[in-house]
Structure 1
Amino acid sequence: MNKTILSLALSASTMLASAGAMAADGSITFTGKVLTASCQIEGGDSTAGGAISVAMPQVGMNNFVSGAPIAPKDFKLKLKGATGNCLSTGEVYSLDIEDGDVSTYGNVKNAAVTTPAEGVEVQLSMAGVPLDLKKEDAIKFPATTTGEEEIDLTASLIAQDASKVKQGEINAVANFMVIQN
């Protein structure tokens, strides 16, 4: 019986000692802003409810060279507010593409379901520089005072290994969010 009481006493004193070790030494406060209206997005060949469509040209399998982009298609993303600026003037923003849409090479994956072209991805570039979409801030731009931002991009088809390209459909989707850096 004495052993049981001693054991309970030791357990209780251990619990009290560890409670003291959990005292707070500081705090972290997270702040942010929820906007009443987000940006309206337009661009490409057509726009429907923020979904931008860019029609890529048809190419032959033998046109691919490993690691070289082909069939470039220029397009613009336009961000504007329903009632004025949707972005804060002077701030820097980026488009963050969802990880599941990006290949290990930093390109947009081909997600065609029925008869997908194999070995082909869509590479995005800005001002002639290929973008690594695995990076959160790959597509960066400053907000100006115009109330509308235009981002000039180029989409190209690319195969990392041209010998693995097979004919089929291309349906590469890049879901993104506009983030203030």
Structure 2
Amino acid sequence: MSKLLKSIVSMAIAGAVSTSAVAADGTINFTGEIIAASCAITGGAGTSVGGNKGGQTIDIGLGKVSSDSLTGTAAGGIVGGKSINLNLDCGGTAAGLKSVKLQFDPNSGSGVDSKNVSLLKVTGGAEGVGIGLYNSSNKLVNLGANETIDGALVSTTEGQNTTYTANLNLRAGYVANGAPIKAGSANGTLPFTLTYE
């Protein structure tokens, strides 16, 4: 074996045996709990709901709106507002819980708008616009900051059976994101999870 080859082999062995001294900069501790609560969205005004518990699809038509209405001062950069009133039927599974939250996951859908991370990114060719979600207080939900829509769980007792329901009310509309407006299809997909407290 040549001296050069012996030198390379011994350096490789030394590198494999040595350990790097990297100190951790911090720790992330995850906490949580899996519960039996399971609410089905049964619909409500402004919604078309399909699928079963755990795989529900809600179709919201925002219509065809003029690009002029987004840039005009009358609309303030928001048009096509549609109320979404979700009625949740939790059966008897929510005992001991007080509220339910609609937690959005835009990154598993069409994503957040690059010009305004509060908005859902649209797909299909339109530019300069995103889809905004507003809570029942008419405040824009910041999708990029994982804000939620919350609703109180209400119990109803008949005889020995107690059932739980909740209503989640929100509104969706097209919102100008500050970039030049370009006409085209403006669709969006926004996966969600129901969480309970």
TM over 0.5: yes
* Alpha-carbon distance, 1:175 to partner: 0.3
Question: Out of 132, 142, 156, which is 1:123 matched to?
Answer: 132
The residue type equivalent to 1:73 in the other structure is K
Rounded to whole Å, the distance in 2 between the matches of 1:169 and 1:29 is 40
* SS state at 2:101 partner: strand
Return the offset for 1:172: 1.0
Change (3 A) 1:87 1:172: farther
Matched, 1:91 2:98: yes
Give the structure with the larger strand fraction.
Answer: 2
* Equivalent of residue 55 in structure 1, options 41, 61, 71: 61
Match of 2:187 among 158, 163, 171: 171
Q: State the shift of 1:158 in Å.
A: 0.4
The CA deviation string for residues 30-88 of structure 1, in whole angstroms up to 9 with x for no partner, is: 662342x732123343111110011112111111138721121112122213xx14434
Distance 1:75 1:139 in 2: 11
CA contact (8 A) 1:89 1:145 kept: no
With over 3 angstroms needed to count, the CA separation of the structure-2 counterparts of 1:159 and 1:40, relative to structure 1, is same
Alignment correspondent of 1:102: 112
Residues 115-171 of structure 1 show CA distances to partners (whole Å, capped at 9, x for unaligned) of: x2112211111222221122334312222214221111111110122x611111122
Q: Secondary structure at the match of 2:155?
A: coil
Contact 1:88 1:143 in 2 (8 A): no
Equivalences, count: 147
Which of 151, 154, 157 is equivalent to 2:171? 154
Calculate the aligned-residue CA RMSD, in Å: 2.6
Indicate if the aligned counterparts of 2:106 and 2:191 stay in contact, CA closer than 8 A: no
* Match of residue 32 from structure 1: 33
- How far apart, in 2, do the equivalents of 1:59 and 1:29 lie? 44
Specify the alignment match of 1:75 in structure 2: 84
Instruction: Provide structure 1 residue ranges, at least 5 long, that are not aligned to the other structure.
Output: 1-27
1:3 aligned partner: none
Query: C-alpha deviations, 1:101-124, integer Å up to 9, x for none?
Result: 333421222133xxx211221111
Amino acid in the other structure paired with 2:195: I
Q: Structure 2: where are the runs of 5+ without partners?
A: 1-28, 157-163
In the aligned structure 2, how far is the partner of 1:29 from the partner of 1:120?
Answer: 36
Instruction: State whether residues 40 and 88 of structure 2, in contact with CA within 8 Å, keep that contact through their aligned partners in structure 1.
Output: yes
The aligned counterpart of 1:46 is 48
